[in-house]
Amino acid sequence: MIQTEAAIDFTLAGRNPYVEDYVGTPMAEWGINEFRTALYHYPYLPWTFLFSAPFKLLSDAAIGWYDQRFVYLLLFAITLLLAPALAAARQAKLMLVMLIGLNPSWAPT
């Protein structure tokens, strides 16, 4: 998430996030020194930061700061709203929303 936020900043500044290094970003403060290879390249597809860029602009204008988790939370809520359409019975719809929304494998340990 930290690197995606930096990639959005590079893009909005007219710079290519695939040729920039991330040594001067908050990303440099995370991880183990000898394993910080992501500081020198952006490993994700363009959709990751291009889709999030409008949300950053909107968030910066509305509240003055941005967190990539806003986008993930919105997508999670949309998933929970659309999930019942995959099941036929009412109980199955509720179970599906429960399994997705309360999935313990998505919670930190």
- As a whole number, mean pLDDT of residues 27-43 equals 75
More confident residue, 77 or 23: 77
Q: How does pLDDT run across 51-80, given as a tens digit for each residue?
A: 999 999 999 999 999 999 999 999 999 999
Give the pLDDT of residue 37: 65
Give the pLDDT of residue 36: 65
Q: Distance (Å, rounded) from C-alpha 104 to C-alpha 70?
A: 21
Q: Distance (Å, rounded) from C-alpha 27 to C-alpha 8?
A: 13
Cβ–Cβ under 8 Å, residues 78 and 51: no
* C-alpha 39: how far from chain center: 18
- C-alpha distances (whole Å) from 30 to each of 33, 34, 37, 57, 95 are 8, 11, 11, 25, 38
Tokens of 38: 């992501």
Question: Would the pTM of this model clear 0.85, i.e. be above it?
Answer: no
Give the model's confidence band at 109: pLDDT under 50 very low, under 70 low, under 90 confident, else very high: low
More confident residue, 33 or 8: 8
Tokens of 108: 């930190």
pLDDT at 26 over 70: yes
Amino acid at 34: E
pLDDT at 105 over 80: no
- As a whole number, mean pLDDT of residues 16-28 equals 87
What is the share, in percent, of the chain residues with pLDDT greater than 90?
69
Give the Cβ contact number of residue 41 at 10 Å.
13
